[in-house]
Amino acid sequence: MEASTEIPLVGGVADGGTVIVDLDVHGRPPLTHHHLVDGGLARAEIYELEAAPDEGPPWVYRWRGPAS
């Protein structure tokens, strides 16, 4: 089992980027990713995990909006 995986970011300021995340004991990534921009965590962009079997990798993080 892999200890980490690379997941694409879709939408928002990080569209087209990727993030490497650690997998849990069941082989799943975290449900959300907080993409930090200027202003730190208070202004982070929130991405939620989605299954993406038709988009290539098994998952993508899709933009949901700013943290504030």
Each residue of 18-67: pLDDT tens digit? 999 999 999 899 999 999 887 778 789 999 999 987 766 789 999 999 88
Residue-range definition of the domain harbouring residue 45: 4-66
pTM for the model: 0.84
Reference 5, options 26, 21, 28; nearest CA is: 21
Place of tokens 């929130």: 46
- Determine the Cα angle at 50 with ends 44 and 51, to 5°: 155
| Phi, psi dihedrals of residue 54, rounded to the nearest 5° | -95, 0
Instruction: Report whether 63 contacts 45 (CB < 8 A).
Output: yes
The Cα 28–Cα 36 span in angstroms is 22
What is the number of structural domains in the chain? Answer: 1
More confident residue, 47 or 2: 47
pLDDT at 40: 75
pLDDT at 59: 93
